[in-house]
Amino acid sequence: MVPKHISCGEPMSRRILIVDDVATNRIVMKVRLRNAHYQVLQASDGRTALELARTERPDLILLDMCLPDIEGTDLCRRLKAGRETASIPLIVVTAGRAPETKMRALEAGADEFLSKPLDEMILLARVRSLLRARETAEELALRNGTHQVLGFAEAAPNFAPPGLVALIASDPRRARAWRAALVPLISDSLTVLSRAEALNPQPGAAQPDAYVIDADLTAEGAGLRMVSELRAHPGSRDAAILIVVPEAARETAAMALDLGANDLIADPMDAQELALRIKMQIRRKTQSDRLRATLEDGLRLAVTDPLTGLFNRRYALPHVARVAERAAETGRSFALMILDIDRFKLVNDHYGHASGDAVLVEVARRLKENLRAVDLIARIGGEEFMVALPETDAERACGTAERLRRAIERRPVALPGGAGEIPVTISVGVAIGDGCAFVTGQVDLEAKVRELMEHADRALYGAKASGRNTVEMSRSAA
């Protein structure tokens, strides 16, 4: 049995592949990234990088342009063309500073271009930003894959309508100059807005898909504050935000990325580079919007529990299979929990079914509040819930289970109609799926998932037998 005061660990560290033919460069980069708590893989040539990217599935690649066997931009194109590697963010790192070199890298699929010697603050801020974006994309893709298994996902339309880009500068004349330079380069609609107009749109007005914002606007740091404000508004929360930053303003650039900006453009800017970055950001937003629409439109009734709003068993089982498939591809473990409300039948018997429903709703709310966006929580039975935690080892799974248990135990649940409060607890069974043990064959994969559920279920019975309100870890792993 797990002690009741285990703290929840940090998420498993992300893996970054460094591709550079100079050993000293790789060592320096490795030290910087290891100090920032990233795992590091290394390759000294393009062919090794391609093999590692396909087999190890790193979360991000730092790529030097000058390699002994494959030219850097060609390697970018090959990585973006591969099914297993297309979604991995790429940062091109090179000694060259020529604008045409940067454009070639961006056109080949690089997400960012950084010149040596590297500024560690900018590098790590850009890494954090790209990894956050990748996590969001992974979450949406994972859920969309589950919907495809269920037969609900619709094919994405081939046509993407033009986007709307808002240009916001300290001086309207500056924003109009941006627009004049961009008009011949992009097909998206361009509009010049003030800060107030962007933050307080007219009712019914179209929301921009992307914002290009001067970092300072009318006061120092006002552009950065606007990033946070746009992220707080429902209408602009998912928009792409590009910040125009003076080339030497390294702290401003790093802060913009950490506040939620999707991309940076150095000032004085190159109009072609800005146009390319806008196109790339709008394309990504369009893909994300389509996935979100698939999740939201017409699926809720089919795959959610009407009482708690959580996913139901119909959704949960194929989703766990998708998590297991991802674990098989990456070789990383994941956790599966079965949770049960202790003595729930007594609640219904003593207080009535309306009170039982209130307990279920409140327990579901607290559980969801204490999980990551990428985690799955589902109601799979009367008082039984399932939680799946991608990329989670045993220690972190135990910490998360303890956090959930404490969240339920911490305070009683209010009954409807002012009928008082009752204490509620849960018991939790935890099982760990070893990614290396899962196979990609569908039949074997589903059998492994069922086996893992049985391990978690047996652990739950052990928690109940130990006195309830406890966490029990399965000693077996699928």
Per-residue pLDDT of 2-36, as tens digits, reads 433 333 333 457 899 999 999 999 999 999 999 99
Confidence of residue 469 (pLDDT cuts 50, 70, 90): very high
Checking if the pLDDT of 445 tops 80, the result is no
**Which of 88-97, 176-185, 379-388 shows the lowest mean pLDDT across its residues?**
88-97
If you search the block for the tokens 């709310």, which residue do you land on? 365
What whole-number distance in Å separates Cα of residue 289 and Cα of residue 294? 9
Contact between 91 and 126 under an 8 Å Cβ cutoff? The reply is yes
pLDDT of residue 340: 96
Confidence of residue 349 (pLDDT cuts 50, 70, 90): very high
- Tens of pLDDT, residue by residue over 104-138, are 999 999 999 998 888 899 999 999 999 988 887 77
First-residue to last-residue Cα distance in the chain: 19
Peptide bond into 3 cis (omega under 30): no
In angstroms, the Cα distances linking 287 to 144, 193, 195 are: 11, 25, 27
The strand pairing partners of 46, in sequence order, are none
Residue 112 phi/psi, 5° resolution? -155, 155
What whole-number distance in Å separates Cα of residue 310 and Cα of residue 143? 14
Residue 227 phi/psi, 5° resolution? -60, -50
pLDDT of residue 435: 75
What whole-number distance in Å separates Cα of residue 253 and Cα of residue 259? 10
**Which of 187-191, 361-365, 474-478 shows the lowest mean pLDDT across its residues?**
474-478
383 part of the active site: yes
Confidence of residue 288 (pLDDT cuts 50, 70, 90): confident
What is the identity of the amino acid at 177? A
CB burial string 154-189: b at 16+ within 10 A, e below: eeeeeeeeebbbbbbbbeeeebeebeeebeeebebe
Rounded mean pLDDT of 88-103? 89
Checking if the pLDDT of 167 tops 90, the result is yes
Residue 10 phi/psi, 5° resolution? -75, 160
pLDDT of residue 149: 65
Instruction: From the candidates 112, 325, 362, 383, give the one annotated as an active-site residue.
Output: 383
Checking if the pLDDT of 248 tops 90, the result is no
- Tens of pLDDT, residue by residue over 141-155, are 676 666 666 666 555
Count of beta carbons in the 10 Å neighbourhood of residue 1:
12
Rounded mean pLDDT of 163-189? 95
Rounded mean pLDDT of 79-92? 92
- Tens of pLDDT, residue by residue over 207-241, are 999 999 999 887 777 888 999 999 998 889 999 99
pLDDT of residue 114: 92
pLDDT of residue 39: 94
pLDDT of residue 427: 97
Contact between 201 and 226 under an 8 Å Cβ cutoff? The reply is no
Q: Which residues contact 388 (CB under 8 A, 6 or more apart)?
A: 316, 319, 320, 323, 334, 335, 336, 337, 375, 376
| Side-chain-side CA neighbours of residue 163 (13 Å) | 22
Contact between 396 and 454 under an 8 Å Cβ cutoff? The reply is no
Structure-token pair, residue 461: 């019975």
DSSP 182-198: HTTT--SEEEE--HHHH
Share of the chain above pLDDT 90, in %: 67
Can you say whether the dihedral through the CA atoms of 171, 174, 180, 181 is positive or negative?
negative
- For 262, the 3-state DSSP assignment is coil
Q: Which H or E run contains 376? A: strand 376-379
pLDDT of residue 145: 67
Rounded mean pLDDT of 429-437? 86
Q: Mean pLDDT over all residues of the chain?
A: 88
**Which of 125-139, 192-206, 310-324, 461-475 shows the lowest mean pLDDT across its residues?**
125-139
What whole-number distance in Å separates Cα of residue 359 and Cα of residue 257? 41
What whole-number distance in Å separates Cα of residue 400 and Cα of residue 314? 24
pLDDT of residue 294: 65
pLDDT of residue 359: 97
Instruction: Between 9 and 45, name the one with better pLDDT.
Output: 45
Residue 260 phi/psi, 5° resolution? 125, 5
pLDDT of residue 1: 40
In angstroms, the Cα distances linking 472 to 123, 219, 455 are: 42, 55, 11
Checking if the pLDDT of 315 tops 70, the result is yes
Instruction: Between 260 and 440, name the one with better pLDDT.
Output: 260
What is the identity of the amino acid at 398? C
Rounded mean pLDDT of 279-290? 87
